[in-house]
Amino acid sequence: MTGHDILMNYKAAVLNTLQYFNIFRHPLFFEEIHRFCGLSICKKELKELIDEMVADGDIFLIDGCYLLEKNAALVHKRKTGATRAQLLMQHAQQSASVISRFPFVKNVSISGSLSKGYANEKSDIDLFIITQKNRLWICRSLLHLYKKMTFLKGKEHSYCMNYFIDESKLCLEEQNIFTATELATLIPMYNTEVHRELIMANKAWAIKLLPNVPWSTDMVFTDDNTHFFRRLAEGVVNLCFPKMLNLFLMSITDSWWRLKWRLKKYPMQDYDLAMKTRWYVSKNHPLNYQKKVLEKKNSRIFQKIAVDI
């Protein structure tokens, strides 16, 4: 490839990154463009490239944020959301601390918009949870019984536990830019050793999509909760044919979700992606956000990037 072709590839990668986040109306800072760029590039070269693109009018720089349109309102919204996210993070830490005390919880991480440093007035606290092997549906059922009680205090939005995975199946099945971005932005709040294992289990495919993300981390500490009542509850459950109980709770939940899905007249072909129900994973995304984002991404004219550079 010629030098011009290589330059155009890097420009396309920058545009693709901004276009992806523009789906969420989310301007990016320089560090974020580098982190989520689809091609490996050092920060110095990227800064020179972005400065050139701003000078040429390909992209816009407003108050430290880069975006595809000259829209100061989006930048103001992003920065206001960042301030709100800092305040909400304190509540998220409390939510994660409560969840970590439940039986069979191995890791709790913050996900969703909050993990990307943004929150609006209606933002929930989205939580990604890893459970002990063959205990996912027991763990999930106990946590959602607790969430039902939080409705009495109006705190249900602090416990949006919409993604659970089993510690023995850490490699994610949906391997695309949406899941890679979500994985890269998870903020571990409890037991970072298990979070490290999650990252390493998915690094081989994720690094191809986001090569500038520092997928390896040396910041690891184990904080496996050993409170007496948690140990007691786990011991009691482990006497009650736990594998059978786990599968039974999965079956009951799946039947209930399928019934609600049909009543809402959602297309059944979307059910397995939006409401994935396996012994090793529980994904409860009735709005099927992943599909909507990927469809929007594919419907836009993204720049073609050659892979042989």
Report, as an integer, the average pLDDT of 265-287: 86
For all residues of the chain together, what is the average pLDDT? 89
Q: Which residue has 């830490």 as its token pair?
A: 93
Comparing CA positions, the residue from 195, 234, 238 lying closest to residue 218 is: 195
280-292 as b/e: b if 16+ CB within 10 A: bebbbeeebebee
Classify residue 114 by burial, with Cβ atoms within 10 Å: 0-12, 13-18, 19+.
buried
> Which of the four CATH numbers 1.10.10, 2.40.10, 3.40.1350, 1.20.1270 does domain 3-74 have?
1.10.10
At 249, the pLDDT band (50, 70, 90 cuts) reads very high
Helix (H) or strand (E) holding 167: none
CA atoms within 13 A on the CB side of 125: 26
Cα separation values, 88 from 82, 120, 121, 147, 296, Å: 10, 10, 10, 18, 29
**Do the bridges between strand 126-131 and strand 160-166 make them parallel or antiparallel, or are there none, so unpaired?**
parallel
pLDDT: which is higher, 309 or 66:
66
Residue 309 has pLDDT above 70, yes or no: no
User: pLDDT for 149-170, tens place per residue?
Assistant: 888 777 878 899 989 999 999 9
Q: For residue 224, what pLDDT is reported? A: 58
Which part of the chain has CATH 1.10.10? 3-74
Q: What pLDDT score does 239 carry?
A: 92
Question: For the segment 170-181, what is each residue's pLDDT rounded down to a tens digit?
Answer: 999 999 999 999
Question: Token pair for residue 76?
Answer: 């103001």
Number of H helices, E strands in the chain: 11, 8
Q: Which amino acid is at 266?
A: Y
**CB-CB neighbours of 57 under 10 Å:** 8
What the block records as the tokens of 199 is: 């990252």
Angle subtended at Cα 129 by Cα 126 and Cα 135, rounded to the nearest 5 degrees:
145
